[in-house]
C-alpha cells in the first residue's frame, strides 16, 4: 500500500476525530473511491485503519483514547459502507464492460466468419467463371465441376434441366450433396416451376435446411439449380445467386452458339444436309481409315434429271423445293451411319461406311424408287445415280472420279437409273 494513500487516510481520520462533523465524515467517505480504484480490500482497510489510529492516539489519556476509538469506529463504518456501495457499482460497471467486450468479440468473430465466407464466395465465383469460360467444357462436365465447387459453400447442390421451353418434364442432370435436398415433386410440372421462378428464385424451408431453386433460362434449354444450406445460417446474398445465374446463362448460350456456328459451317442451309466442305473432310477420313484398318466403304453420287428444265420453266423456287424434297428422301432412306451431303447445285452424295458394293447398289435403287414418288407439276422426279466401292488404294480424288464416271454413264444410258463401276 502506498505511503501517499496511508497519509491521506491519516489526514482524513485525524480531521474527523478533531471535529466529528458530517462534512468531515462525508469527505472521508469520498476517500473510499480511491481505495476501490487502488484495489484495496476490506481486510486491508481495517489493517490500515488500525495502524493510523494507533499513531493518532499514541500518548492520549485513557478517557481520550476510549473516545477517539469509539469515534474512529463511526469513521470506519462510513468508510466501509461507502466502499461497499462504490465497489458494487465498480463491479457492475466492470461486468457490463466485460459483457460488452464479449459482445464486441462475438461481433468481430461473426464479421470475420462473414468475410471468410464472402472470400470463399469470391474464390468460388472466380473458379466457376474459369470453368464456364473454358473453351473445352461440355455442359455435363461444367455442371459436375461447378457442383463440386458449390458444395464447399452449400451442403447440397443439385441441377435439373428441361430440354426446351415447351416441355413439361423435369429431368435430372447431376447431384452432389451431403444432405437431403427437398424434392421438386411439390410442383406438378417443370413448366410450373419455371413460371414460379420468373421473379428470381423459389425458397423452401424446413426445420433444418433452406433450399433455393434458381432458374437459368435460355432459348433452347432451361436449367434449374438447387442449393441447400442450414436454417441457422445467416447467408442470404441475392447478388451471389444472380452472378451464378448469369454465369450459367452466358455459358449455355455460348455452348449453343458454338454448336450453331459449327452446324452452319458444315451444313447446307437450304437442304439441311452436310455441305461439300464436310463431304470432302469426311471422305478423306474414311480413306485414311480404310488404308489403316482395311475397312471398306462406298460412295454414291446423285444428279437430278432435267433439273435445268424445271428451273427454266417453273422458276428457281420450284427447283429449290424439289431439292429439299429429294434431300428429305435421302435422309429417310439412308442409315444412321451414312453421311448424306449436298455435293453442289443439283448433285447429292452419300458416303456409306463399312458397306459393300452390293449393299450400296441396293440402297441406290431404293433411293431412286423413293424419289420417283415425288411429283413436280404432274411429272415424277427422276435421278441418275453412280456408285463405286473404295478399292483400298484410292485417294479421295480417285474414288470421286470413278463414281462420277458411273454417274456419267447413267446419264448417257438414258437417265433414271443406277450404274456401278466395280473395282478393277
Q: Where are the alpha helices (DSSP H) in 151-270?
A: 190-196, 238-266
What is the mean predicted confidence (pLDDT) over 1-30?
77
Q: What is the largest CA-CA distance in the chain?
A: 160
pLDDT band at 36 (very low <50, low <70, confident <90, very high): confident
Domain boundary among 264, 296, 327: 264
Q: Report the distance separating Cα 4 and Cα 24, nearest Å.
A: 19
Is residue 114 assigned to a domain?
no
Residue 31 is part of a domain; what is its CATH number? Answer: 1.10.1240
Q: Which residues contact 412 (CB under 8 A, 6 or more apart)?
A: none
State the DSSP code for 181: P
Is residue 385 assigned to a domain?
yes
Q: Encode 339-362: b = buried (16+ Cβ within 10 Å), e = exposed.
A: bbbbbeebbbbbbbbebebeebbe
Residue 154 is part of a domain; what is its CATH number? Answer: 3.30.450.40
pLDDT band at 130 (very low <50, low <70, confident <90, very high): confident
Q: How confident is the model at residue 300, as a pLDDT? A: 96
What is the mean predicted confidence (pLDDT) over 170-177?
45
According to the per-residue pLDDT averaged within each range, which of 100-104, 172-176, 233-237 is highest?
100-104
- Paired strand residues for 225: 159, 214
Is the pTM higher than 0.75? The answer reads no
Q: Are 419 and 369 in contact (CB under 8 A)?
A: no
Report residue 390 as a C-alpha cell.
473404295
Q: How confident is the model at residue 168, as a pLDDT? A: 44
User: What tens digit of pLDDT does each residue of 47-85 get?
Assistant: 878 888 887 888 778 788 888 888 888 888 887 888 787
According to the per-residue pLDDT averaged within each range, which of 55-69, 174-188, 337-351 is highest?
337-351
Is the predicted pLDDT of residue 26 greater than 70, yes or no? yes
Is the predicted pLDDT of residue 294 greater than 60, yes or no? yes
When mean pLDDT is compared across 39-53, 218-232, 238-252, the lowest value belongs to 218-232
Report residue 89 as a C-alpha cell.
457499482
**Are residues 9 and 62 both part of a single domain?**
yes
| Of 107 and 223, the one with more pLDDT | 107
**Are residues 237 and 314 both part of a single domain?**
no
Cell 474512529 belongs to 72
Report residue 424 as a C-alpha cell.
478393277
Q: How confident is the model at residue 419, as a pLDDT? A: 95
| Of 423 and 272, the one with more pLDDT | 272
Number of domains in the chain: 3
**Are residues 346 and 229 both part of a single domain?**
no
Is residue 257 assigned to a domain?
yes
Domain boundary among 239, 264, 289: 264
What is the mean predicted confidence (pLDDT) over 326-344?
93
| Of 341 and 139, the one with more pLDDT | 341
Q: Encode 23-53: b = buried (16+ Cβ within 10 Å), e = exposed.
A: ebbeebbebbeebbeeebeeeebeebbeebb
**Are residues 198 and 325 both part of a single domain?**
no
When mean pLDDT is compared across 132-136, 308-312, 338-342, 383-387, the lowest value belongs to 132-136
Strand, coil or helix: what is 370?
A: helix
**Are residues 251 and 363 both part of a single domain?**
no
Q: Are 222 and 216 in contact (CB under 8 A)?
A: yes
Q: Which residues contact 95 (CB under 8 A, 6 or more apart)?
A: none
Q: How confident is the model at residue 146, as a pLDDT? A: 80
Is residue 130 assigned to a domain?
no
**Are residues 170 and 85 both part of a single domain?**
no
Sign of CA dihedral 136, 139, 145, 149: positive
Is the predicted pLDDT of residue 220 greater than 80, yes or no? no
Q: How confident is the model at residue 369, as a pLDDT? A: 94
User: What tens digit of pLDDT does each residue of 250-281 get?
Assistant: 888 887 777 777 778 888 989 999 999 999 99
Average pLDDT, the chain: 79
When mean pLDDT is compared across 130-134, 162-166, 347-351, 395-399, the lowest value belongs to 162-166
**Are residues 67 and 159 both part of a single domain?**
no
**Are residues 253 and 287 both part of a single domain?**
no
Strand, coil or helix: what is 294?
A: coil
User: What tens digit of pLDDT does each residue of 349-406 get?
Assistant: 999 999 999 999 999 999 999 999 988 777 789 999 999 999 888 999 999 999 999 9
Sign of CA dihedral 185, 187, 191, 193: negative
Is residue 34 assigned to a domain?
yes
**Are residues 251 and 343 both part of a single domain?**
no
Is residue 113 assigned to a domain?
no
The whole domain housing 191 covers: 139-264
**Are residues 186 and 88 both part of a single domain?**
no
Report residue 343 as a C-alpha cell.
455435293
Residue 299 is part of a domain; what is its CATH number? Answer: 3.30.70.270
Q: How confident is the model at residue 183, as a pLDDT? A: 42
Q: Are 278 and 344 in contact (CB under 8 A)?
A: no
Is the predicted pLDDT of residue 95 greater than 80, yes or no? yes
Amino acid at each position: 500500500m502506498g505511503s501517499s494513500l496511508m497519509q491521506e487516510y491519516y489526514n482524513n481520520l485525524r480531521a474527523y476525530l478533531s471535529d466529528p462533523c458530517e462534512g468531515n465524515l462525508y469527505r472521508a467517505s469520498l476517500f473510499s473511491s480511491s481505495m476501490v480504484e487502488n484495489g484495496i480490500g476490506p481486510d486491508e482497510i481495517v489493517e490500515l485503519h488500525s495502524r493510523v489510529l494507533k499513531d493518532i492516539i499514541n500518548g492520549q489519556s485513557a478517557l481520550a483514547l476510549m473516545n477517539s476509538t469509539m469515534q474512529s469506529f463511526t469513521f470506519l463504518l462510513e468508510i466501509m459502507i461507502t466502499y461497499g456501495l462504490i465497489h458494487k457499482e465498480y463491479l457492475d460497471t466492470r461486468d457490463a464492460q466485460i459483457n460488452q467486450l464479449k459482445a464486441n468479440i462475438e461481433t468481430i468473430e461473426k464479421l470475420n466468419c462473414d468475410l471468410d465466407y464472402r472470400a470463399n464466395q469470391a474464390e468460388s465465383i472466380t473458379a466457376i467463371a474459369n470453368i464456364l469460360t473454358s473453351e473445352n467444357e461440355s455442359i455435363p462436365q461444367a455442371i459436375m465441376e461447378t457442383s463440386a465447387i458449390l458444395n464447399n459453400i452449400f451442403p447440397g447442390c443439385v441441377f435439373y434441366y428441361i430440354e426446351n421451353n415447351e416441355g413439361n418434364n423435369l429431368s435430372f442432370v447431376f447431384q452432389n450433396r451431403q444432405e437431403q435436398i427437398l424434392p421438386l415433386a411439390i410442383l406438378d410440372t417443370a413448366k410450373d416451376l419455371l413460371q414460379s421462378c420468373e421473379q428470381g428464385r423459389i425458397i423452401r424451408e424446413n426445420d433444418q435446411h433452406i433450399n433455393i431453386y434458381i432458374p437459368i433460362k435460355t432459348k433452347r434449354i432451361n436449367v434449374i439449380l438447387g442449393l441447400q444450406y442450414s436454417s441457422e445460417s445467416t447467408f442470404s446474398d441475392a447478388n451471389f445467386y444472380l452472378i451464378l445465374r448469369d454465369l450459367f446463362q452466358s455459358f449455355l448460350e455460348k455452348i449453343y452458339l458454338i454448336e450453331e456456328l459449327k452446324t452452319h459451317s458444315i451444313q447446307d442451309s437450304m437442304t439441311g444436309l452436310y455441305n461439300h466442305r464436310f463431304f470432302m473432310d469426311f471422305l478423306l477420313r474414311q480413306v485414311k481409315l480404310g488404308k489403316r484398318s482395311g475397312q471398306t466403304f462406298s460412295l454414291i453420287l446423285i444428279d437430278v434429271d432435267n433439273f435445268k428444265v424445271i428451273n427454266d420453266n417453273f422458276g428457281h423456287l420450284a427447283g429449290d423445293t424439289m431439292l429439299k424434297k429429294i434431300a428429305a428422301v435421302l435422309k429417310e432412306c439412308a442409315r444412321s451411319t451414312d453421311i448424306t451431303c449436298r455435293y453442289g447445285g443439283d448433285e447429292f452424295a452419300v458416303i456409306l461406311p463399312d458397306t459393300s458394293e452390293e449393299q450400296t447398289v441396293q440402297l441406290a435403287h431404293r433411293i431412286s424408287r423413293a424419289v420417283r414418288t415425288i411429283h413436280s407439276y404432274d411429272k415424277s422426279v427422276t435421278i441418275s445415280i453412280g456408285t463405286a466401292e473404295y478399292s483400298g488404294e484410292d485417294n479421295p480424288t480417285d474414288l470421286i472420279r470413278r463414281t462420277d464416271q458411273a454417274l456419267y454413264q447413267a446419264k448417257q444410258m438414258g437417265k433414271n437409273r443406277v450404274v456401278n463401276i466395280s473395282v478393277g
